[in-house]
Amino acid sequence: MKVAIVTGGGGGIGRATALALADLGYALVLAGRTPGRLEEVAEQIKRAAGRAICVPTDVTQPQDVDRLVRQAREEYSRIDAVINTAGMAPMIPTPDILPTQWREILEVNLSAAFYLTRAVWPVFRNQHLESQSDLHEHGRSGAELGPDSGGVIVHISSESARDPFPGLGAYGVAKVALNMLTKVTAQEGEPLGIRVVGIAPAAVETPMFRALMTEEQVPTREILAPQDVAEAVVGAVTGAMRYASGETIFIHRRI
């Protein structure tokens, strides 16, 4: 059994990703600030004979993130994937952003990813070393471990990282920095069997997006569904993009 943590697990992209991974047999650890939404997703997974636990978490608080990783380990003994979907994107012209708002936007969209990476890194490193030890014990010291023998981290970035949108300046700045975090931690993690991948969707049909744009302004048919993003995440974790690391992959609506 493989295990995945999904932050923002009660939201649009997080929910779709959790359900997609559960369909593949992953046990889920759902994290977020809204316990009721997390429980809804967990119950849906359990009704389909899957496994899921909920860990209410404020991802901007390092001690909360440390507790999340600790509870995941206590419940399932290992962690194979961490999917960071938590985010916020208030539309405020950059000169009008208050310093407190600026810090909050960067905390949720950037610092939270660092806290999660920092918390799970020792777990992934130890899993890689255990995999190496197992090869030696079974006389297969010359065999190669997979690219994610430690684990894989997937960050949800955004098209805003390369195509600025008026009013989303702080959000775009955070996502640009997140892409660099993806790149540098992928390089640092390669010797430890740790992959790090970014998925950067254009507009997605989620409550967060609809708080910015109405159906009249941007029809649903013109944007991505959460399931489209979840499909890309699954590809990064298990499928066609399994050997990718350090890249941020931009995805757009299907024509």
Contact indicator for 33, 55 with CB cutoff of 8 Å: no
The whole-number average pLDDT for the span 97-108 is: 96
Q: Tokens 């932050």 correspond to what residue?
A: 7
- Whether the per-residue pLDDT at 17 is higher than 50: the answer is yes
| Alpha-helix residue ranges (DSSP H) falling in the chain | 12-23, 35-47, 62-76, 99-106, 112-137, 169-189, 207-210, 226-237
- Whether the per-residue pLDDT at 211 is higher than 90: the answer is no
- Whether the per-residue pLDDT at 142 is higher than 50: the answer is no
Q: Tokens 């993003």 correspond to what residue?
A: 229
At residue 205, the pLDDT reads: 60
The whole-number average pLDDT for the span 88-105 is: 93
- Whether the per-residue pLDDT at 143 is higher than 60: the answer is no
Domains of the chain: 3-138+148-251 (3.40.50.720)
Contact indicator for 57, 72 with CB cutoff of 8 Å: no
- Whether the per-residue pLDDT at 141 is higher than 60: the answer is no
Would you call 94 helix, strand, or coil by DSSP?
helix
Look at the chain and count its residues: 255
Cα–Cα distance measured from residue 96 to residue 101, given in angstroms and rounded to the nearest whole number: 10
At residue 132, the pLDDT reads: 85
Contact indicator for 41, 18 with CB cutoff of 8 Å: yes
pTM: 0.91
At residue 48, the pLDDT reads: 95
Tokens of 123: 């777990």
- Structure confidence by residue, pLDDT tens digits, 183-193: 999 999 999 99
At residue 202, the pLDDT reads: 75
- Whether the per-residue pLDDT at 139 is higher than 70: the answer is no
At residue 251, the pLDDT reads: 87
At residue 166, the pLDDT reads: 84
The whole-number average pLDDT for the span 127-151 is: 76
As a whole number, the mean pLDDT across the chain is: 89
- Whether the per-residue pLDDT at 101 is higher than 50: the answer is yes
At residue 159, the pLDDT reads: 86
* pLDDT band (50, 70, 90) for residue 206: low
